[in-house]
Amino acid sequence: MNCLQNLPRSYALPFHGFKCNPRKPFSCSINMMGGKNSGDIPRSMEVKAISGSTSSEKRSSSDSEEGKSEIYSHNMTEAMGAVLTYRHELGMNYNFIRPDLIVGSCLQTPKDVDKLRKVGVKTIFCLQQDPDLEFFGVDIGAIQDYAKKCGDIEHIRAQISRDFDSFDLRMRLPAVLSKLYKAINRNGGVTYIHCTAGLGRAPAVALAFMFWVQGYKLGEAHRLLLSKRACFPKLDAIKSATADILTDLKKELVTLTWEDSKCSTVEVSGLDIGWGQRIPLKLDKEHESWTLQRELPEGRYEYKYIVDGEWTINEFELLTTPNKDGHINNFLHIVDNDPNSVSAVVRKRLTSENPDLTKEERLKIRQLLESYPDEE
């Protein structure tokens, strides 16, 4: 297996850090409108709260929620590489992607269950983790109890544990899609898929379901999704998860090196840990360099160094294409040693620009979803 990490010139030259600002996300301002919308929506929308007389207590609560929304939106923007805005204080918002599939933000009170029942929802599929719920003070137990009391709608949780994390999404998709597939077969009707903001995890799960089960090409499903809801699903995670199912998943030991013994700390972010975490490199005093060894599955990974607290790229390692603001990351691509092997050919096709599945591949995925062990 090869790790396409270093530029051809890099093995002949020492690694030196090229200082730059952290990669700036491209601008894709997303302020979603609450409520049902079965038609197209503009990519950028501004939503204003209705003004009126409120008590000081309500204003204080609203200010607190607005502050939390700002923090959450900032974290999304940093982690997802796009300017994403979520306003929890405006209530639940959603969009019909298909007549039987809705993607939206989280339910906030049991009353939201009734709103979804009115539009034919039979399955509420919640991808939130407990810290998401605690952050905004959502009482998930009350929502679940009310849904159970109604008797005509099922509330299901399938947590994706690391928010905004492409690698975690990749690893979790088979288990999550299995639970979703079984629920839809059991309940029929309309399915409501949500995370917290409905901008990352939920669109990705809906997109994977359309690709794996409903017969869409991935690009076709992606275009339909974006025509209905402005969002930012991680396409690479879906492609890699698909290839993982249909090929033999291999791993490679990767070594990252930073040539500079004078700095105090060197860390790396991205890779398989997400942008919200960092791994320290170890100082090799003999070679005056910092190194990190990590075993990674096949796939493409972006990362960045943090040297003495400053986000930095290594100009002698592979670099992404500059985004619209001119900012870049390092990346590496782990591939099979034999590019002509059946597994390598299939993975290359499934991680291409607009992959499609054969009838046999889609059947194999459905069989996996049906047989996948149920989670608690």
- If asked whether residues 148 and 212 sit together in one domain, one would say yes
Give residue 325's pLDDT: 66
- If asked whether residues 193 and 277 sit together in one domain, one would say no
Q: Is position 203 within any domain?
A: yes
- If asked whether residues 97 and 133 sit together in one domain, one would say yes
- If asked whether residues 117 and 215 sit together in one domain, one would say yes
Which of 225, 245, 265 is where one domain is finished?
A: 245
Q: Is position 56 within any domain?
A: no
Q: Is position 18 within any domain?
A: no
Pairing mode, strands 121-126 and 190-194: parallel
Q: By the 8 A CB rule, do 279 and 294 touch?
A: yes
1/26: higher pLDDT: 1
Give residue 83's pLDDT: 62
Give residue 255's pLDDT: 94
Model confidence at 263, pLDDT cuts 50, 70, 90, reads very high
Among the residue ranges 60-64, 129-133, 207-211, the one predicted with the least confidence is: 60-64
Give residue 79's pLDDT: 57
User: CB atoms < 10 A from the CB of 333, how many?
Assistant: 14
Q: Which positions are catalytic? A: 195
- Rg from Cα positions in the chain: 22
Model confidence at 274, pLDDT cuts 50, 70, 90, reads confident
Q: Is the pLDDT of residue 367 over 70?
A: yes
Q: Is position 183 within any domain?
A: yes
Task: Check which CATH number belongs to the domain holding 156 and give it.
Answer: 3.90.190.10
CA atoms within 13 A on the CB side of 117: 15
Domain region containing 220: 62-245
pTM of the model: 0.74
Give residue 376's pLDDT: 62
Give residue 211's pLDDT: 98
- Average pLDDT value for the chain: 81
Model confidence at 44, pLDDT cuts 50, 70, 90, reads very low
pLDDT tens digit string along 128-144? 999 889 988 999 999 99
Q: Mean pLDDT, to the nearest integer, of 356-368?
A: 97
Bridge partners (DSSP) of residue 305 are: 268, 312
Model confidence at 277, pLDDT cuts 50, 70, 90, reads confident
Q: By the 8 A CB rule, do 327 and 20 touch?
A: yes
pLDDT tens digit string along 92-131? 999 999 999 999 999 999 999 999 999 999 999 999 999 8
Tokens of 275: 């942008």
Q: Mean pLDDT, to the nearest integer, of 312-334?
A: 87
Q: Is the pLDDT of residue 17 over 70?
A: no
Give residue 273's pLDDT: 87
Q: How many domains does the chain have?
A: 2
Among the residue ranges 81-85, 241-245, 345-349, the one predicted with the least confidence is: 81-85
Q: Mean pLDDT, to the nearest integer, of 23-46?
A: 36
Q: Mean pLDDT, to the nearest integer, of 30-42?
A: 36
Give residue 70's pLDDT: 78
